[in-house]
Amino acid sequence: MSASYDRPEASGAPEDASAPRAGRLACFCPPGVPVDGVEAAALPDARWGTALLAGGFGLSVLSQTLVLGVVPLAGALLAPAAHLVTAPYIAMLIGAAIATFPASFLLDAFGRRAAFALGASTGVAGGFVMAWALSANAFIPFCLGAFWLGIAQGFSLFYRHEAALGSGGQSRALAIGIVFGAGALAGLAGPALAAASQIFFPERLFVGAALVAAIAQVAVLALAVVSAGRAPVIAQPLGAARPKPAPTDWRAFAAPTFIAAIAWFAMTAQMVATPTAMAACGIPVGSVLNAVAWHVIAMYAPAFAAGAVARYVGARNLALVGLATIVLARYVSAQATGYIGFTTGLILVAVGWSLSTAAATMWLHREARPTRVALAAHDGALFVAAILGAMAALAPLGAR
């Protein structure tokens, strides 16, 4: 793309061949990626950038945590017909799946600040719309709010890719682990915030949780504003060939995407079915939300160590260990009849999902050389698998 600048010779200064000007193309590369010809001092500080990404991702997960256990239960309360009980959760996952390609291309074209701020803005709107819908017992607006929060979720999943793109060598796995693991803090804060919301809104079930989810997205928006705005700009003479990134190895892309998709399918199916099953067993809502909080902690905490473990056993083997843990979780949940059994199953499936997803991300960036299209396709496949898992879990409920 071209841009207009004042010509250096007009001011009598010698022309700098590297300075962008009219008639010279500027190549916008993925944010945070070291680029030939750009001094290290001109690039954002890697540690500060990773901290901002971790903070934004953690707050995004906090927002999702507050509505994760609410959406299936609220859908059952608000749905005008039994077959529509599944609609709010499916709407949230569809929003996340639809957001993957726009999020990837916006990050490339406009940088982290604009892309992540846009995603957080949809989350803010979604949380407030859900809160209003719960107050007014309005089902369709509730689905719309869930859809917008899903869009925010689709954007937030790219925090881990941005951490990988902004790092190199052995630090890449560490950066992925830090950003992904920051979601564990959401599980620690979630129960306290959910309990506080019930104190302020005792007569409006779930409204407080939706409002706090919206406020968490406001914090995500604030962090996005102070993050790196865009990639470095590199001058390039008009007519010169643009540097082409290495093509994606689609065979190397397929394996980690397939394994991660299985993990997302299984985890979503169990996560969606468990709150309803716990409620059917007479377990109170507070305990259900507490179990979901432990589930969220287990979803992200293992990622802190995933990079170090993958260095010894390999990303592929770690992803397979995650799948084996999910199989064990499925068995435990099938035998559960009380709080301990359900919670154990949720924790195990979360650990398996965390290991498989983090390992697949490391595997993808190390071997497949993913482009922006490949990254969007990878995350889109995960959300499609999650949609299928939610449909598989909620189909029996919707048929009642």
Neighbouring C-alpha atoms within 13 Å toward the C-beta of 224: 29
Per-residue pLDDT, 122: 94
Q: What is the mean pLDDT of residues 232-250?
A: 52
pLDDT digits (tens, 9 = 90+) for 158-197: 888 887 776 655 666 777 777 877 777 776 776 667 666 6
Per-residue pLDDT, 191: 64
Phi, psi for 24 (deg, rounded to 5) = -120, 130
Query: With left for phi above 0 and alpha for psi between -120 and 50, is residue 233 left, alpha or beta?
Result: beta
Q: Are 225 and 113 in contact (CB under 8 A)?
A: yes
Task: Report the predicted TM-score, pTM, of the whole model to 2 decimal places.
Answer: 0.73
CA–CA separation, 59 vs 190, rounded Å? Answer: 10
Per-residue pLDDT, 218: 94
Cα 304 to Cα 255, 266, 326, 400: the distances in Å are: 23, 22, 19, 41
Cα 331 to Cα 177, 239, 336: the distances in Å are: 28, 61, 9
Q: Are 342 and 152 in contact (CB under 8 A)?
A: no
Residue 27: strand, helix, or coil: strand
Per-residue pLDDT, 24: 38
Q: Is the pLDDT of residue 260 over 80?
A: yes
CA angle 109, 115, 121 (to 5 degrees): 150
Q: Are 267 and 385 in contact (CB under 8 A)?
A: no
Per-residue pLDDT, 204: 63
Q: Is the pLDDT of residue 66 over 90?
A: no
Pairwise pLDDT comparison (59 vs 303), residue with the higher score: 59
Please state, rounded to an integer, the average pLDDT across all residues of the chain.
77
Q: Is the pLDDT of residue 324 over 80?
A: yes
CA proximity to 317, closest of 355, 349, 262, 369? 355
CA–CA separation, 266 vs 264, rounded Å? Answer: 6
pLDDT digits (tens, 9 = 90+) for 261-311: 999 999 989 888 888 788 888 888 778 877 877 888 888 888 778 877 888
CA–CA separation, 304 vs 298, rounded Å? Answer: 11
Find the Cα–Cα–Cα–Cα dihedral 14, 17, 18, 22, rounded to 10°. 90
Q: Are 59 and 219 in contact (CB under 8 A)?
A: yes
Pairwise pLDDT comparison (250 vs 333), residue with the higher score: 333
- Please give the structure tokens belonging to residue 176: 């992925």
Q: Is the pLDDT of residue 237 over 50?
A: no
Which of 62-66, 290-294, 359-363 tops mean pLDDT? 359-363
Q: What is the mean pLDDT of residues 61-80?
A: 79
- What would the DSSP string read from start to end of 322-384? HHHHHHHHHHHHHH--SHHHHHHHHHHHHHHHHHHHHHHHHHIIIII---HHHHHHHHHHHHH
CA–CA separation, 117 vs 220, rounded Å? Answer: 8
pLDDT digits (tens, 9 = 90+) for 89-125: 889 989 999 998 888 888 878 878 888 999 999 999 9
| High-pLDDT (> 90) share of the chain, % | 24
Q: Are 279 and 73 in contact (CB under 8 A)?
A: yes
CA–CA separation, 377 vs 391, rounded Å? Answer: 21
Phi, psi for 30 (deg, rounded to 5) = -55, 135
Q: Is the pLDDT of residue 6 over 50?
A: no
pLDDT digits (tens, 9 = 90+) for 122-158: 999 999 999 999 888 899 999 999 999 999 989 988 8
Pairwise pLDDT comparison (227 vs 243), residue with the higher score: 227
Indicate the angle between helix axes 158-165 and 46-68, nearest 10 degrees.
Answer: 170
Give, as one character, the DSSP assignment of residue 367: I
Q: What is the mean pLDDT of residues 332-358?
A: 92
Pairwise pLDDT comparison (345 vs 43), residue with the higher score: 345
Q: Is the pLDDT of residue 317 over 90?
A: yes
- Which residues contact residue 178 at a Cβ distance below 8 angstroms, ignoring those fewer than 6 apart? 50, 54, 163, 304
Q: What is the mean pLDDT of residues 5-34?
A: 41
